[in-house]
Structure 1
Amino acid sequence: MYQLSINLKFFMLIRIIVILIISSLSVNMLKATESCEWDNRNGAPCIKIIKPIPNTSKFSNIGLKSYIITSREIKEYGAVDINQVLEMIPGINITQSGPKGQQASLFTRGTNSNHTLVLLNGIPINDQSTTQGLHDFGVDFIQSIHQIEVYVGPNAVHFGPNAMGGAINFITAGDFSNDLEISVRDEKNKIVSTNYTKVTDNDWILNVKTGLVNSKTESAIYGGSEKDGVKNLSGNFNAEKWLNNNIKFRSTIYARETRADYDSSATAEDGYVGDNLMYATQFGLDHQKENLKDYITFHFHTYDRKYDEAGTIDEYLSKSFTTRTERQMQLNNKLSFGIGGEYKYDWGEFENRGSYEASTKGNVDNKSIFSNVGFKPYENTIISLYGRSDHHKTTGINNTKKINITYLIDKFKFGFTHSTGLRNPSLYELYGTDNWGYSGNLNLDPEKSKSNEISGQYNFKENFSFSFTGFKSNIFDHVEYKNNTYINDTTKTDLNQSGVESKIDWKGKGQKLSIFANSLSSKKKNGEDQLRRPEKTYGAKYEKDLNTDYFGPLKFRLKYQHYGKHWDTHSSNWSTILMDSTDITDISLLKKIHGYDWSLNITNVFDESYQKPHGYAHDGREIQFGFNKKY
């Protein structure tokens, strides 16, 4: 076992942030509100932050389907990491190689884990030092994240490359609700988060969020003898100011460090430690008038990862710079228009040492222009058109498009979407080498996709609605490993996904219920099922206000998820095996006492033991007590 420590660079960054806040001018406090609307600088602060969505305009935005999870919802259900939030979104499946902090892969509607674009305040942050340019969701925790937006299927492709399956947007804006939250299971398992906002006399809005997670529960290897732990530190500093009635300056500094124990095998459980750091900074200007909005953003982020296996150190480093400018216009009461451009430069390298040696070093850039039109020919009809052209360093010019038609008829909303998407090769696929003879391929074409979706929502009453989505997508020119390099398979359609997603939402007096069910078919070109994609998943969230004789008013919450049977690879002999389904139930109780919100969270209530993927263990029943205090 090892002693987890705070990385010096991370500590210095947090220290600088604290100094900036302490040295600010005298301040006025803003009180949180339950719900409100923004009205430029005169608006009241909101719990639910509305950020500009890339490549949209007023009417084209109406047909865009998304799931928004606020910080309040995250806290109320006792979520610790990103996976616990995303697993309840229709169309998303997650597998994690062990308990919290271990590597996690996310599959959106059956697509590959590198087909989901991850963004920070609308800017892509996928890690280019990974072999396939995917995002590891196992290292992300939610204590300093204010809001999560999820766009599934063709709702995401107009954001840019690598969004063929979907997109997940992390929002780090301040929420004006100053609070401290602590949750504890034992001395090795605890969570602390803080949020603090000040408004200076000269109208600067300054916000700091911090988070700490310590967890040590299970061995990563199923049946292992020692517990693997994780320590996550995160923080962000947000600053914004209205320079005049129409122009706002905004900036964000975000930092995260995740240190985790790993296991090499069932017989080699000690001495394997990972240190994963991520830094990001953004700043920009928003110009807003009644029918015109302009945005410009500059973004830079770095991933710095090291894995120490008994003295053999693997190092991964990537850096990315992005600048984006966009204009959104409402031309009249029937037509809106948006246009913009983006430049993105990615550089990365890694060195994998030991018995297997692999490395890469290289850079790519991508220049893009994009536009959209929203047309409202009738009061109940919206037509949205999206176009994007990307000029990539190695794959050249590639164009993608999307069309959406939405009908609004009394209580019924119906939509149809057709889209095309792409994924550009990763740095390793282009420049990588290993000691088994692999070499990268600079002549790779991008993977491409076509998707069709129909969706509908019927509101039986104001408090009762049913929604459904049917989809079918195909991926072409899939990048595959063959003959010591990566090539595009151009023989036929490589991956086929289709399915149906449905959801029921009901709200009664002092209670709410949400039920979802998904059916998925994800096939390879030979007709075989893709691994780790269950055919059926379903679940429910329920909450109710209770009034007990002994404890008085309480809030009860229940979360249940069924993850269906699926195919996987055996962790020892590499054969394909059928994995059993899992049923996980979490419950929470919340009680307000003397200004404190106290909570009892029980995850995996029935202590189900399962492997997902095969050979890797997951947390059993966990009981945590906590409180939240607002100031």
Structure 2
Amino acid sequence: MKLRPFAAACGTAFICLSVCPSVLAEESTQLEDVVITADRKARTVDETLTPVTVITRKDIEKYQATDVAEVLRRVPGVNIVNSGGVGKVTSVFLRGTNSSHVLVLVDGIKIGSATVGSVAFQHIPLEQVERIEIVRGPRSSLYGSEAIGGVIQIFTRKGNEGFQPRLMLQAGSNNTQAVNATFAGGDKATWYNVSIGSERTSGINAQTNDATGERDGYERKQAAVRVGHNFVNGVKVEASVLQADGSSAYDSPPVVSYTDDFVQEVLSGKVIAPVGSKTIVTAQIGKSKDASDNFRDGAFISRFVTNRETGSLQADVQLGTAGNLTVGVDQQEDKVDGTTNYTIKSRKNDGLFASYQHDFGKTDVEVSARRDDNEQFGKHNTGAIAIGYDVSDNLRLKASQGKAFRAPTFNELYFPNNGFGGGNPNLKPEQSKNTEVGLDGKWANGKWSVSAFDNKIDNMISGWPAQNTAKAEIKGVELGASTQLAGWDVSTNLTVQSPKDKLTGKPLTYRPKQMASIDVDRQFNRVRIGTTLRGESKRDWDDSSMWPAIERKQLPGYGTVDLRADYALAKDWTVGAKIGNVLDKDYQTNSGYNQDGINGLVTLKYAPK
């Protein structure tokens, strides 16, 4: 299936929506939704000068999503590469950048593996997620390394006043079973949320060349706790813990069976205190763990563990009636452990950052800068500037330019040479410079947005042993809008991009040039129905099966259709059903790895109102 007609349909839908007076923001169904990630402090979507998408708990439940990747697919500029179904390695590419170019936070704490440089999105339990904020574009001037493509922040669930127990039961294709129980509540001063759950599935046959047809299963147990208290003097404190552990099976045909036993942990403690009437100070400490034990035919073969400790101190100061200053310091220490004998097993990074926003009436200006000092690669400076101009009350023009970087991973720097190459301790950080213009429009009931960007990346790390030999340029346009048509909620987005290797002129692998999605939903009293259409164009990949010779090949484009419905059985009970890939499309997002065909899931929820 070619994507061009599909993309054209989405483009036409966008144009139609953009002239409709009831357009709603693609970022959120709430016009004044507050986001934290874009500027490291609470601001409304309208105030921020960088593209941001907010996925709420309401969105997650409406789409009957079961994993983080499923909801991220709806974000402009995001494409997902999955290696064989539920629980298998899942990479997120944002605006054509590498999966290692996305900074990921959970409740403000940086997560991920310091050895491979990516985040195990497949292990993050979506049922424990309250909200996801996705900032598109470079934010190293506020967050440091990795924020070349953008920042994704995941917030765990909170409690509200009163007592809110919840129960979720699921059963579906591939012997899928899941259960999650939550106890949340609080009063005017204190709130809490405690959640536990488990999931298991027989999975699908992950690899296309596995002739045995054996399924590759997945199981996970998870728990989350988040508590907070608001003191009468305005001081707020909160703490959170998120843990997931389990096992994922995968094969290497014809006879070898592998299993990955994993642990993902995030701990956070935060204090927010007003100092006088114009200053708020935030202090946070946290720790994250990414651990993986690998087995071959039941025998242990390797272990990789990342332990990351972070701390930050930040002050937000109101300067006059139109200025806002943020200054802060971050500290991070990564430690790696396991069966691999890295020559260096830990490193520290100190970051000092500042940003200033000023409102000149119709014009808003934001300037930010950061200096990172890493004990391995030394000092690195980044900065950004953004300008917003109100062309009219309903139309805003935005322009920005920002620099970002990514520090080399422990594998790239210190992996021992086993006869096939190893790490390179002389690597320099990757560097990028992004230029962007955007236009946001709104009417009485909503918004639409268009953004065009040009991101140049130098000193890209490639090859093995790793070298700073690659360069890339990624140009693209993102469009997004949503509206109500004849009682139907319709949202759509379209991304057209050109991610290229500047030295060879070839497209970067696994990046489609076109991506589009449409969601259509409607409420009929106690029944809600909906559908999702998603499509991506063809993309290149490098076949290294005859290594060291590498042949460039292509994966075909694809389109999928999902159907969903839910019914309110009673005041507190809801049953939902979803059919995924209803056309039973055979496609791959990662060469050599299957995706699920037509599949079904039934969900029963208890949530007192």
Q: TM-score range with shorter-chain normalisation?
A: 0.7 to 0.9
Distance 1:238 1:413 in 2: 38
**Secondary structure of the structure 2 residue equivalent to 1:220:** coil
Are positions 1:541 and 2:519 aligned together? yes
Are positions 1:180 and 2:163 aligned together? no
Distance 2:423 2:553 in 1: 32
User: Could you tell me which of 554, 570, 590 is aligned with 2:527?
Assistant: 554
Instruction: Go from structure 1 to structure 2 and tell me whether the alpha carbon gap of 1:232 and 1:331 turns closer, same or farther (over 3 Å shift).
Output: same
Q: Post-superposition shift, 1:209?
A: 2.2
**Secondary structure of the structure 2 residue equivalent to 1:210:** strand
Are positions 1:117 and 2:97 aligned together? no
Q: 1:222-233, aligned counterparts within 5 Å?
A: 222=208, 224=210, 225-233=213-221
Q: Post-superposition shift, 1:152?
A: 1.0
Are positions 1:250 and 2:238 aligned together? yes
Q: Post-superposition shift, 1:243?
A: 3.0
Are positions 1:469 and 2:469 aligned together? no
Match of residue 160 from structure 1: 144
Match of residue 21 from structure 1: none
The number of residue pairs the alignment matches comes to 566
Amino acid at match of 1:150: I
Instruction: Go from structure 1 to structure 2 and tell me whether the alpha carbon gap of 1:49 and 1:377 turns closer, same or farther (over 3 Å shift).
Output: closer
Match of residue 519 from structure 1: 496
Deviations 1:431-453 (A, max 9, x none): 21131153433332211100001
**Secondary structure of the structure 1 residue equivalent to 2:129:** coil
**Secondary structure of the structure 2 residue equivalent to 1:612:** coil
Q: Is the Cα–Cα contact under 8 Å of residues 101 and 138 in structure 1 kept in the other structure?
A: yes
Q: Is the Cα–Cα contact under 8 Å of residues 139 and 147 in structure 2 kept in the other structure?
A: no
Q: Is the Cα–Cα contact under 8 Å of residues 35 and 43 in structure 2 kept in the other structure?
A: no
Match of residue 574 from structure 2: 597
Q: Is the Cα–Cα contact under 8 Å of residues 141 and 370 in structure 2 kept in the other structure?
A: no
The RMSD of aligned alpha carbons is 2.5
Distance 1:69 1:280 in 2: 21
Match of residue 594 from structure 2: 617
Q: Post-superposition shift, 1:295?
A: 0.4
Q: Is the Cα–Cα contact under 8 Å of residues 145 and 407 in structure 2 kept in the other structure?
A: yes
Instruction: Go from structure 1 to structure 2 and tell me whether the alpha carbon gap of 1:422 and 1:228 turns closer, same or farther (over 3 Å shift).
Output: same
Deviations 1:189-242 (A, max 9, x none): 1222233213279x4322112232222231111264111111122221111112
Are positions 1:140 and 2:124 aligned together? yes
Q: Is the Cα–Cα contact under 8 Å of residues 599 and 627 in structure 1 kept in the other structure?
A: yes
Q: Is the Cα–Cα contact under 8 Å of residues 545 and 555 in structure 1 kept in the other structure?
A: yes
Distance 1:186 1:58 in 2: 42
Match of residue 410 from structure 1: 393
Q: Is the Cα–Cα contact under 8 Å of residues 496 and 523 in structure 1 kept in the other structure?
A: yes
Distance 1:243 1:385 in 2: 33
Distance 1:222 1:363 in 2: 38
Match of residue 23 from structure 2: none
Amino acid at match of 1:80: T
Instruction: Go from structure 1 to structure 2 and tell me whether the alpha carbon gap of 1:526 and 1:136 turns closer, same or farther (over 3 Å shift).
Output: same
Match of residue 349 from structure 1: 337
Unmatched tracts of structure 1, length 5 or more: 1-34, 39-47, 353-357, 548-552
Amino acid at match of 2:62: E
Q: Is the Cα–Cα contact under 8 Å of residues 173 and 599 in structure 2 kept in the other structure?
A: no
Deviation larger for 386-395 or 461-470 = 461-470
Instruction: Go from structure 1 to structure 2 and tell me whether the alpha carbon gap of 1:187 and 1:110 turns closer, same or farther (over 3 Å shift).
Output: closer
Are positions 1:305 and 2:283 aligned together? no
Q: Is the Cα–Cα contact under 8 Å of residues 109 and 266 in structure 2 kept in the other structure?
A: no
Deviations 1:145-185 (A, max 9, x none): 11111111135653221110111111114143532111211
Q: When the two structures are superposed, what TM-score results if normalisation uses the length of structure 2?
A: 0.88
User: Could you tell me which of 404, 412, 427 is aligned with 1:429?
Assistant: 412
Distance 2:39 2:492 in 1: 30
Q: Is the Cα–Cα contact under 8 Å of residues 397 and 439 in structure 2 kept in the other structure?
A: yes
Instruction: Go from structure 1 to structure 2 and tell me whether the alpha carbon gap of 1:528 and 1:37 turns closer, same or farther (over 3 Å shift).
Output: closer
Deviation larger for 161-170 or 281-290 = 281-290
User: Could you tell me which of 552, 575, 585 is aligned with 2:561?
Assistant: 585
Match of residue 542 from structure 2: 569
Are positions 1:499 and 2:476 aligned together? yes
Q: Post-superposition shift, 1:529?
A: 0.8
Q: 1:361-510, aligned counterparts within 5 Å?
A: 361-378=344-361, 380-408=362-390, 409-436=392-419, 438-459=421-442, 461-463=443-445, 465-481=447-463, 485-489=465-469, 494-508=471-485, 510=487
Q: Is the Cα–Cα contact under 8 Å of residues 395 and 441 in structure 2 kept in the other structure?
A: yes
Q: 1:12-91, aligned counterparts within 5 Å?
A: 51=36, 55-56=40-41, 62-91=48-77
Match of residue 327 from structure 1: 315
Q: Is the Cα–Cα contact under 8 Å of residues 111 and 289 in structure 2 kept in the other structure?
A: no
Amino acid at match of 1:253: V
